[in-house]
Amino acid sequence: MPTIRELEDLIIDAIYLDILRGKLDQKEEQLEVEYTMGRDLEPGKLEAVLAALKDWCANLVPCRLN
């Protein structure tokens, strides 16, 4: 996400779609997740999901700086 606003929009969409449930605290710039929709993975797919999450985490800090 290039901007914090785009990240907030993505989180809000996920909440409305019931993909996740949580509290978005704009003052503290954090999301407290209470629930996420589960997903079954095919054998061998865990590594790809972990890689995607690591990439996502690596991009969080640059997003917060914008």
Task: Quick: pLDDT tens for 8-57.
Answer: 888 888 889 888 999 888 888 888 999 888 878 788 888 888 898 888 87
CA distance 24 to 27: 9
CA distance 65 to 52: 21
Dihedral sign computed on CA atoms, order 5, 35, 46, 42? negative
Q: What is the DSSP letter of 19?
A: S
Q: Which domain holds residue 55?
A: 4-65
Residues linked to residue 24 through DSSP beta bridges, in sequence order:
31
Residue 34 pLDDT: 93
Q: How many separate domains does the chain show?
A: 1
Q: Which residues contact 11 (CB under 8 A, 6 or more apart)?
A: 20, 24, 31
